[in-house]
Structure 1
């Protein structure tokens, strides 16, 4: 069975919630403010949230009726994109899973608007085995973190999700991240768009 993620993650500051709530991303955004009552599968996997919770923007599948590409004014953020990140992504992601430049520009622009680090996380697993995992970090300049899939089974090996989440104030005690569980109650956290 396959599992994949293509999402933007950022701390849920008041400014971030307001800006995302007014943007074209609002229909895809969730503000996770607590994990009360969450059924942790192991006590040691339980984790908290950054101050203010966090926003998860679950980007639609690129195959869905043209909704896969989100566009905001991003040209003024072009100087934040990294040639190194482009090369690392090309090495770690399959050609059909590359993050489009327009999406990277839009994420960098959003980081400028909210004034805080933002992650663009992309991962795919097959039968519990990691196929690829990369996190683009915008703070506001772009950098990239990729998990070495050949070492991903080692508990001591660095991984792109945990290292990225540290940049937005969330430390995971294990590799388990509650919002990535299949039964996570997403509907409970849907962000209400603001006008």
Structure 2
């Protein structure tokens, strides 16, 4: 089965490709070269559907799209859907992390809870569509550590680590893909794909 991944984000393409290969090697994931739609939704679900609908319409293939970000409890769930642009109009991972850490500068560890969110939308050319959600709970570190991953990975400390805690920026790529919010969302999507 061929399916188009509706993103131009090279990091997401690489990460998603590894997740799909590990869980559904029978899927042929192809890249999307069409126009990027305006993501004007106010939820992860709305934005994922906007992207998947545009890719399905442009290619005539089943389309997957991910909308994701980080939600910080003490900030009422922000940055949320604004994660990629938290520091301004331009996507800038370093500036986004620095602003978030500055906003939480005086917040003690018990109150730095956060979770990554990934919503994956599946849209078929016949108009059927679904969304699934994956969340990865944890908390924010006080400083960025590690140069792996992207986005907020160097400041995110996932729950459930044995021994010395590490940020996702310190994880190997395979380790991140096996636990991440995208992996969790994709696991929820697998039963839907099996029905197609």
TM-score (norm 2): 0.26
Larger Rg: 2
Instruction: Choose between structure 1 and 2: higher helix proportion.
Output: 2
